[in-house]
Structure 1
């Protein structure tokens, strides 16, 4: 665990995302905030809301976010007023949320804060840039339920994924879901520079052929684009580029509609755009399909919470052991150690 802070020094920004609610995301955040004191200067913001005493969805008690003196925080005005610390306002960002304008302030004392940020990734990126310009070593973005887009390299340099018993009573199901998420977020990136240089010409969905000519498909979204994609595929097709979300139905339709998909590489922006079930992804890869990303994601570790808010828990050591055997990443428990 001592190596975690040393590892974080390599990055300018970090997102902490959860597989579900109550999997230890806030506890992981608090651990980093505590361990970083005197070692690195931190900025903190969020997508969605976090840090309140009672979970607004499950009505269960939550760990609060405790920051150290000197930390910089970007949060909505209502949360700024609710934060139990002495504060110095540094910037009014003019970025609005349902809880008010996002305000950047400095903590002049230790204490509890509430976080709420914009729901837009573009605005979140802007806030991260503002925090970095204030001379911080590391900006941490606290994620919200199902907002895995925070792991996108366009938002943060590195990601910690949190998982736990709250996902299921069956430890094997938890491990299986976690492994599948890691696999989606860790896909290989395309390294052919000539192909990458062509991507700026593609708006939403396009086909790149073997002679490097491009066909832009005239569609508003990638979700229902299978018909147009199939109509533009032939034996000279080399890449299908999708700038948007990829779901099960799209891959299923293409697998049903043609056999040549196995000779084509699907290129997506990054792993956060893939909303694919394990079954469909396995079938696609098993039958020769290939998916790569334009921008790779850097997952630097898995944080676990062996306790569920629903009254059951896993054996911590067993949970750690199973995950470590299945996932080639550091896996740690910030509460129990290890």
Structure 2
């Protein structure tokens, strides 16, 4: 039994997330699709945008096509339906629209290449996944075609498969460190069940910064921490236990906060995709006893590595895979080029 079979016993939906363009995300998708066919797992395939085209619409570089096997359920917009090399049987026209037509839910009648697309809104993706399950799918793969970071949101799927590789840097050590940093962020501890979690949950829809003091939440008239560091510092007093930041979390969010307060207060984020702090700066914050937790973290089910960069350089396949596995001992690491 292969990796996908093991994952299908744990998860129902998996998002494939690329750390950068050309990190091998589509290659990883094809690898998993082929393995599902070998294992007899009926797949549903959708996307957060468009994928499967032969050329990257942004960079102009050649892209691997998406090959789907018979009986797969896939979402395809009307304008891409006739471009499919595969034989597609339309099961139903969905209620979701895209810039390239209404989304159709199709069964692959004859194996072949397909350009896939799906809903952009997370809530619509979840509804479409349920429709696919109702049609008999055992596992759904969600391709993060447009925004390669937001698709990692824990609201989208049960877990993610993270695609990384040589495109990140010519320096192997940096590729390993940057990938391990993202996995570390995605694995941040969730805020335990407590009064603070209850208060944040009650007011989360207001999308405002909250300062939690004992059994109450002071809701600041701030929707973002960017440029608000001084105001957050003023709101933190000796009774403050937690600060909830609803949006992006960067160095500037905490730049003007007293170091003693930073050490004492626990910052809470909606999920790890909100953090935009590099590996070195985050490591320095950790050394200063900076504490951060999330309402929901992200489970990384596997990491795929691509040793070849589109600009022409590459790493040794085995060296890259072994180094990544050593850095991430608890997560399966797969070289999808072998």
> Would you call these one fold, judging by a TM-score over 0.5?
yes
Question: In structure 1, what is the equivalent of residue 337 of structure 2?
Answer: 335
CA–CA distance in structure 2, aligned partners of residues 80 and 215 of structure 1: 52
CA–CA distance in structure 2, aligned partners of residues 134 and 154 of structure 1: 22
CA–CA distance in structure 1, aligned partners of residues 225 and 109 of structure 2: 47
Question: In structure 1, what is the equivalent of residue 68 of structure 2?
Answer: 67
CA–CA distance in structure 2, aligned partners of residues 113 and 283 of structure 1: 46
Provide the aligned length of Structure 1 versus Structure 2. Answer: 333
Normalised by the length of structure 2, the TM-score is 0.92
Question: In structure 2, what is the equivalent of residue 136 of structure 1?
Answer: 137
Question: In structure 1, what is the equivalent of residue 304 of structure 2?
Answer: 303
CA–CA distance in structure 2, aligned partners of residues 335 and 258 of structure 1: 47
Find the residue that maps to 2:82 and give its secondary structure. Answer: helix
Q: How does 1:267-286 map to 2 (within 5 A)?
A: 267-286=268-287
Residue pair 1:143, 1:150 contacting (<8 A) in 2 also: yes
Q: How does 1:207-286 map to 2 (within 5 A)?
A: 207-209=211-213, 211-254=214-257, 257-286=258-287
Residue pair 2:223, 2:247 contacting (<8 A) in 1 also: no
Change (3 A) 1:220 1:241: closer
Residue pair 2:229, 2:255 contacting (<8 A) in 1 also: no
CA–CA distance in structure 2, aligned partners of residues 134 and 270 of structure 1: 31
CA–CA distance in structure 2, aligned partners of residues 12 and 232 of structure 1: 43
Residue pair 2:224, 2:245 contacting (<8 A) in 1 also: no
CA–CA distance in structure 1, aligned partners of residues 187 and 136 of structure 2: 30
What displacement does 1:134 show?
2.7
Which shifted more, 212-221 or 162-171?
212-221
* CA offset digits 1:192-236 (Å, max 9, x no partner): 344322222222221111x22111112233434323322211011
What displacement does 1:90 show?
2.2
Structure 2: gaps spanning 5 or more residues: none
CA–CA distance in structure 2, aligned partners of residues 103 and 249 of structure 1: 44
Find the residue that maps to 2:20 and give its secondary structure. Answer: coil
Q: How does 1:196-207 map to 2 (within 5 A)?
A: 196-202=197-203, 203-204=206-207, 205-207=209-211
Change (3 A) 1:197 1:62: same
* CA offset digits 1:19-72 (Å, max 9, x no partner): 112221111111111111253211111112211112223333221101111111
What displacement does 1:145 show?
5.8
What displacement does 1:258 show?
5.0
* CA offset digits 1:155-188 (Å, max 9, x no partner): 1001110111112211122112111111111111
Structure 1: gaps spanning 5 or more residues: none
CA–CA distance in structure 2, aligned partners of residues 114 and 290 of structure 1: 43
Find the residue that maps to 2:63 and give its secondary structure. Answer: coil
Question: In structure 1, what is the equivalent of residue 54 of structure 2?
Answer: 53
What displacement does 1:8 show?
2.5
* CA offset digits 1:246-303 (Å, max 9, x no partner): 122112233xx45212111111111111111223322222111101111121101110
CA–CA distance in structure 2, aligned partners of residues 43 and 253 of structure 1: 48
Change (3 A) 1:79 1:33: same
Q: How does 1:154-193 map to 2 (within 5 A)?
A: 154-193=155-194
CA–CA distance in structure 2, aligned partners of residues 77 and 9 of structure 1: 33
CA–CA distance in structure 2, aligned partners of residues 110 and 223 of structure 1: 49
